[in-house]
Structure 1
Amino acid sequence: MGDFERNKDQVQAGIQAGASLVGRIAVIITDAIGSVVKEVGDFVTDAIEMREAARAARLDEATRSPEIELDDIGPDELYG
């Protein structure tokens, strides 16, 4: 095997190793982005559910309490 062929094989192996490394890093980054987006989405969902629960509690309190009239509660309190 000549010097040219050995050098070609080394360059080829180096390029293949580099491409494989870039591919693995891309998978890691893609998975990380997906995980972050999922966590943010879950957080927003929880916040929406807490807001709706608070709204329902205010409405329930207004309908059960004789001191509070439904007319005294603004639409922002009832509907967020």
Structure 2
Amino acid sequence: MVGKFESNKDLVQELTSSGAQRVGKIATLVTGTVAEVAREIGEFVTDVIEMREAAAAARRDAAQDRAEAEFAEAGDVETGTVDLDAPATGDLDPAPVLAEPSDKA
């Protein structure tokens, strides 16, 4: 027959073993969760960076499109010709017209 002391020792041993296993499983769950959270945060930051780069590229494209449209308004982009009858734009001063020399000098 097993004595009271040995019975208590076996009980403490089983409780300690079971507790250690439970703590180990909980630690594994916590470690896995922390790793998943870190991965999700990293992917979110990557998405933010990609969105910033896409927005910057869109701004560059829009600026280039505006510049091309302004150039196209000034002349035919395909042939390189300019419509001389089109009204002038901008603050350009017309060239001064020189008077023809007179014989009265």
The number of residue pairs the alignment matches comes to 68
Counterpart residue number, 1:22: 23
- More relative contact order in 1 or in 2 (CA 8 Å, sep 6+)? 1
In the aligned structure 2, how far is the partner of 1:61 from the partner of 1:4? Answer: 85
Corresponding residue of 2:59? 58
After TM superposition, the structure 1 = structure 2 runs for residues 1-80 of structure 1, keeping only pairs within 5 Å, are 1-66=2-67
| Aligned residue identity for 1:20 | Q
Q: CA RMSD in A?
A: 1.4
Gaps of 5+ in 2: 71-105
- Structure 1, residues 21-43: CA drift from partner, whole Å, max 9, x if none? 10010011011111111111111
Provide the rounded CA distance (Å) in 1 between the counterparts of 2:28 and 2:8. Answer: 30
Helix, strand or coil: the match of 1:65?
helix
Q: What is the TM-score when the length of structure 2 is the normalising length?
A: 0.61
- Can you list the C-alpha shifts for 1:47-66, whole angstroms capped at 9, x where unaligned? 00000000001111111212
Report the TM-score, using the length of structure 1 for normalisation. 0.79
- Higher alpha-carbon Rg: 2
**4+ residue runs of structure 1 moved beyond 3 angstroms?**
none
